[in-house]
Amino acid sequence: MSSRIEITKNYATAYTRAPKKPKAAILDTVTELTGWNPDHARQQLTRRTRQPQGRAKATVAVIDRPKTKARKYSYDAVKILPYVCSIAGGICGKYLAAAMKGLLDCLEAHPPDPGQRPLQPQRACRAVSDESGDYRPVPQTSP
C-alpha cells in the first residue's frame, strides 16, 4: 500500500476536475486505501490542490497530524510542581492550590538534598505563583 501522501497526490487533481459522480467514485477509492472517513478524505484532496507547489511532501503529514495544545504552565512550573506535590504527600487540585503558599515558603527555606539537582526556588516560585494566581511572594529585604 502506498503512503497517504502519494495517494492524495495521485488523486487530487482528478478529484477537483471530475464531475459529481466520478468524484464520488474517487472519494470511495481514497477512503478504502487510506482508511479515512469521507469528510477527511475530501478535505485532504481539496487542500492538496490549493497548496503551493513544492510543498507536496508536507501536506498530508501536516494536515493529518493531531494539533498539539499550547502549554498551560511554563517549563519551570512543570519541573517544580511534581516535586511540590510529592512533598505535600501526593495531594493535587484544589487541595494543592490551598497548600501552595506554605509549601513554596518551605522550599525557599529548606532547599532539597545536596545530592539532588538544585531547584532554584525563587524562579520556580515566581513561575508557579504567576500561573496559579493564588500566591504572590513578598520581595525579600536584606537585614
Q: Domain coordinates of the chain in residue numbers?
A: 4-64, 75-132
Exposure letters 67-96 (e unless 16+ CB within 10 A, then b): eeeeeeebebbeebbeebeeebeeeeeeeb
Going by C-alpha positions, the residue among 111, 114, 124, 136 that lies closest to residue 82 is 124
C-alpha cell at 29: 477509492
- 15 confidence band (pLDDT: 50, 70, 90): very high
Please determine, for residue 1, whether its predicted confidence score (pLDDT) is greater than 60: no
* Percent of all residues in the chain with a pLDDT value above 90, rounded to a whole number: 15
Please determine, for residue 129, whether its predicted confidence score (pLDDT) is greater than 60: no
- Higher per-residue pLDDT: 54 or 14: 14
pLDDT at 138: 47
